Structure 1
Amino acid sequence: MDDDLPTEYDVIVVGTGMTESIVAAAASRIGKRVLHLDSNEYYGGLWATFNFDGFQKWMEDLKISKHDSKDFKPDLENGETFLKASNQYSTVENIAEECEADLPLVLTKDTQTDGSNDTSSLTTEKTDEDKNDKKETKHWSVDRIKKEYRRFNIDLAPKLLYARGELVELLISSNIARYAEFRAVSRVATCMDGKLIQVPCSRADVFANKTVSVIEKRMLMKLLTSCMDQGADSPEFDGYHDKTFLEYLNTKNLTPIVNHYVMQAIAMSTDKTSCRDGVNRTKHFLNSLGRYGNTPFLWPMYGSGELPQCFCRLCAVFGGVYCLKRHLDGVVVSEDKCKAILTGKQRLSLEHLVVGQGHLPPEIVASTGENQISRGIFITDRSIMQGEKENLTLLYYPPEESDQEAVTVIELGPSTNACPQGLFMVHMTCKRTKTAQEDLAYVVKRFLCAKTLESNVSRTPTDSHTQTVATDQHQAQEGDKGANEGTIENPMPQVLWSLYLNLPASDIKLNESAPSNIHLCSGPDLDLDFDFAVNQAKEIFKAMYPSEDFLPRAPDPEEIILEGEEIPGPKFEGDNTSGENEKQDAEKAEKEE
């Protein structure tokens, strides 16, 4: 495959990450000749989703030295310079895998439903329940996890979509949404006074909530309405541009519970978050409510890695050429322009080069930034917050100490196709300060049990590894009464398998000597959603084709007319054979009479 590609393109895209894939689709959609390369044998790069076996292979590949461009001297024309590509800016570090299921077997029961069944199905006779329990009990070991590897979908960079965020609007307007499936996040949780509780998101949920008093409900709705209607640039927030969101909230004389809901559950902020950012996050949250479900968030079925592939599909439909396992050896530069790339034995000419941060020549990099991402992935035997039905849960957990970072927790159940029935997939993400294992330790200790219990030990609510969880309908009240009523002792989820790793963040910059037609695409960032990647793709496309529309709507298959296909013209009056037949039948009937 070293010399089977056409040699001239309008756009060559290297890397199949989120931003690269959006740009490739946008260029192909307007008729540009697009070549999309990736050195991997899978799509997505650091945005990818793997099954369990694929994830193991990905880790093994990281241990092998990456492709090194051949030390050859390409044939160059006068004034041309060759810059060798490098993969040093996409290094994954501090990988730590723990297979707790290697120890004695862990038992799980498929006791939760996906929420689609009627509650009447729960009122069965005891004998039937006993039979079902025996059928539903499963023994999980690392061997069984490996055997059922296809039933796992593990994300490197899990992200949610705001229901009215940039990506959802783009998927709808471009008609790419037909390539994807989504599931609404059913529960936003928060930890208050050591207890996990469900956050009321909609107006109806707020007024039905028994934790918040009537006065607090009015106080909360007034504040949220102010953030929603006015925004951070309104006179309401004059004088707070250099202050924190917490300082602004303190001027509103909010009760501790209202302050907690707004800060940690809605704005997902810390005491260091600026007022502008806090207000904008609150507005973003509220603006996405009520579109799909009771929360503002959507999760892509089969994982976040499906979304780059949706844009790749559209690029291919409109003529884009794809070639995986094809390395970028280097770029040919002349007079502030990238004229071509070298890959294998071929020189491929181009007008624009769109490249991910993992393929950049070091000569054109200004800074690599200091931010990195700490990630933790856990397969567990139960939810962190048990309920009558399976939930897709988002939890924002603020730092407990000054040297810690806030952690975003996303828990996925079997209905998302992230794991088999009876198991859950928990993703934790935060800004790196140390190793991923050290950064996430305080949250793991709070919500998960990482020590495998003996197979003959029964998991009961009185185990030493328990946490208090407020019930969905009657959250814990303050005081002694609340400590005993409205709460349940929830056995902490048992970790069967875990992985920690550090990923590079998206803060690499090009220097002034970089050719003007090389466009850098960042990798995953620390944001909860995909807005950064979408906006970056729009900027790159505008820089390449300022007068073109960005990803106009793609037609449905039935709307496409193939070249050479005959289009039926207007019907002539003389062609009305049915009318002639009716006239002949009438004349025949008259003669018979």
Structure 2
Amino acid sequence: MERIEPSNFDLLIIGTGLPESILAAASSAANKTVLQLDPNPLYGSHYASLPLQDFISFMESQQLQSEPSSNPQLPQTDDDSQNYACVSVITRPLYSSLEINSYSSEPLDNSRKFFLDLTGPRVLLCSDPMIDLILKTGINQYMEFKSVDASFMSNAEGKLGTVPDSRSAIFKDRSLSFTEKNQLMRFFKLVQGHFLSESESEGSDLISEEDLESPFVEFLTKLGLSQKLKSIILYAIVMANYDQDNMEVCKDIIKTKDGINYLTLYHSSVGRSIPF
């Protein structure tokens, strides 16, 4: 390998994943010399997309990693002239309890024509601040994006249907009753009015401060929305990760103010064009 110049760098970054690459690009744009390394024999760290055989090899290599062990306590120094601190670094494997099964000793036909993401496809809303950061640092030149053509959700019978997330989608949805369509429209209008009032610094009494601090699912129930409409809002639009109805075991209860922010971000992202 050719020698890397200069021999001294302002910043050393371990890893070539999305966060590390954004940090490296931003530092370079600020006229800092950056050396970016990756302990893996591939670019992209744990955000990489690999062919089938490489994917299996990577999983097997992670399986062989030893369990983390705590490092011995580093000696303390009383020298106040030092402007740095020593910390104990512990390396932990990202993947654990891997089970790899192969149903054929021969590689699949055309396996080189598709790739598998190590962490699965990531979904970013077009109005998310992360998009602006990606564009500003130029990382988008090394990434591949695909627009989401439609969003679907499953009903109680296991049938897929499009998510009624806009005025036109609501009125085209045949699974919603006339009453449900009106309720959903009034709810979106309430959220839009509250957001506009806040953005204009006029203060808003459309949603009280007490309701904003309450669980979002309770606020939706207070508005008289059916379980079907609440599921659409919570899991298809706000994209809650945990069962919001079961608050005793829910690990992340979404407050009304956060739910409204998610809704606003979602609606502002629909139809936005990004110059990738």
Q: State the TM-score bracket (shorter-chain normalisation).
A: 0.7 to 0.9
Q: 1:19 matched to which residue of 2?
A: 19
Secondary structure of 1:12's counterpart equals strand
The answer to whether structure 1 residue 288 and structure 2 residue 269 are counterparts is yes
Q: 1:98 aligns with which of 81, 97, 101?
A: 101
The answer to whether structure 1 residue 149 and structure 2 residue 111 are counterparts is yes
Q: 1:193 matched to which residue of 2?
A: 156
Q: 1:13 and 1:217 mapped to 2: Cα distance?
A: 51
The answer to whether structure 1 residue 160 and structure 2 residue 123 are counterparts is yes
What does residue range 470-485 of structure 1 map to in structure 2 within 5 Å?
none
Tell me the alpha carbon deviations over residues 245-302 of structure 1, each in whole angstroms, 9 at most, x when there is no partner: 110001111233322221221122323332222222222211211225xxxxx9xxxx
Q: 2:12 and 2:228 mapped to 1: Cα distance?
A: 53
CA contact (8 A) 2:65 2:93 kept: no
The answer to whether structure 1 residue 215 and structure 2 residue 196 are counterparts is no
| Equivalent residue letter for 2:125 | Y
Secondary structure of 1:190's counterpart equals strand
Relative to the length of structure 1, the TM-score reads 0.37
Q: 1:249 matched to which residue of 2?
A: 220
Q: Structure with the greater relative contact order (CA < 8 A, sep ≥ 6): 1 or 2?
A: 1
CA contact (8 A) 1:227 1:279 kept: yes
Q: 1:205 aligns with which of 153, 169, 176?
A: 169
CA contact (8 A) 1:212 1:257 kept: no
Q: 1:11 and 1:3 mapped to 2: Cα distance?
A: 18
Q: 1:275 and 1:230 mapped to 2: Cα distance?
A: 12
| Equivalent residue letter for 1:28 | S
Q: Paired residues, what number? A: 243
Q: 2:217 and 2:146 mapped to 1: Cα distance?
A: 32
Q: 1:288 and 1:179 mapped to 2: Cα distance?
A: 22
Q: 1:219 and 1:190 mapped to 2: Cα distance?
A: 19
Q: 1:84 and 1:60 mapped to 2: Cα distance?
A: 31
CA contact (8 A) 2:215 2:255 kept: yes
Tell me the alpha carbon deviations over residues 188-216 of structure 1, each in whole angstroms, 9 at most, x when there is no partner: 22222232322123322211111112332
Secondary structure of 1:36's counterpart equals strand
| Equivalent residue letter for 1:273 | I
The answer to whether structure 1 residue 279 and structure 2 residue 275 are counterparts is no
Indicate how the Cα distance of structure 1 residues 175 and 36 shifts in structure 2: closer, same or farther if over 3 A, else same.
closer
Secondary structure of 1:35's counterpart equals strand
Q: 2:29 and 2:89 mapped to 1: Cα distance?
A: 30
Indicate how the Cα distance of structure 1 residues 260 and 222 shifts in structure 2: closer, same or farther if over 3 A, else same.
same
Q: 1:170 matched to which residue of 2?
A: 133
| Equivalent residue letter for 2:269 | S
Indicate how the Cα distance of structure 1 residues 280 and 32 shifts in structure 2: closer, same or farther if over 3 A, else same.
same
Q: 1:264 and 1:177 mapped to 2: Cα distance?
A: 28
Secondary structure of 2:8's counterpart equals coil
CA contact (8 A) 1:51 1:149 kept: yes
CA contact (8 A) 2:21 2:139 kept: no
CA contact (8 A) 1:202 1:290 kept: no
Task: Give the structure with the larger strand fraction.
Answer: 1
Secondary structure of 2:169's counterpart equals helix
Relative to the length of structure 2, the TM-score reads 0.74
Task: Give the structure with the larger helix fraction.
Answer: 2
| Equivalent residue letter for 1:189 | F
CA contact (8 A) 2:14 2:37 kept: yes
Indicate how the Cα distance of structure 1 residues 96 and 65 shifts in structure 2: closer, same or farther if over 3 A, else same.
closer
Secondary structure of 2:211's counterpart equals coil
Shift in Å at residue 142 of structure 1?
6.6
Shift in Å at residue 154 of structure 1?
1.4
Q: 1:55 and 1:252 mapped to 2: Cα distance?
A: 48
Q: Percent identity of the aligned residues? A: 26
- RMSD, matched Cα: 3.3
CA contact (8 A) 2:22 2:139 kept: no
Shift in Å at residue 84 of structure 1?
8.7
Tell me the alpha carbon deviations over residues 80-110 of structure 1, each in whole angstroms, 9 at most, x when there is no partner: 89969855234421112234xx2xxxxxxxx
Q: 1:195 and 1:154 mapped to 2: Cα distance?
A: 27
| Equivalent residue letter for 2:145 | F
Q: 1:265 aligns with which of 236, 241, 246?
A: 236
Q: 2:160 and 2:269 mapped to 1: Cα distance?
A: 21
Indicate how the Cα distance of structure 1 residues 227 and 176 shifts in structure 2: closer, same or farther if over 3 A, else same.
same
Indicate how the Cα distance of structure 1 residues 262 and 84 shifts in structure 2: closer, same or farther if over 3 A, else same.
closer
| Equivalent residue letter for 1:219 | Q
CA contact (8 A) 1:51 1:154 kept: yes
Shift in Å at residue 244 of structure 1?
0.9
Indicate how the Cα distance of structure 1 residues 200 and 17 shifts in structure 2: closer, same or farther if over 3 A, else same.
same
Secondary structure of 2:181's counterpart equals helix
What does residue range 346-385 of structure 1 map to in structure 2 within 5 Å?
none
CA contact (8 A) 1:228 1:282 kept: no
Q: 2:194 aligns with which of 230, 239, 251?
A: 230
Q: 1:213 and 1:84 mapped to 2: Cα distance?
A: 60
Secondary structure of 2:266's counterpart equals helix
Q: 1:82 and 1:176 mapped to 2: Cα distance?
A: 32
Tell me the alpha carbon deviations over residues 321-356 of structure 1, each in whole angstroms, 9 at most, x when there is no partner: xxxxxxxxxxxxxxxxxxxxxxxxxxxxxxxxxxxx
User: Whose Rg is larger?
Assistant: 1
Tell me the alpha carbon deviations over residues 13-70 of structure 1, each in whole angstroms, 9 at most, x when there is no partner: 121122111010011123211111111111222222221111111122224457x9xx
Q: 2:53 matched to which residue of 1?
A: 53
Q: 2:9 matched to which residue of 1?
A: 9
Shift in Å at residue 177 of structure 1?
3.6
Shift in Å at residue 223 of structure 1?
0.9
Indicate how the Cα distance of structure 1 residues 229 and 94 shifts in structure 2: closer, same or farther if over 3 A, else same.
farther
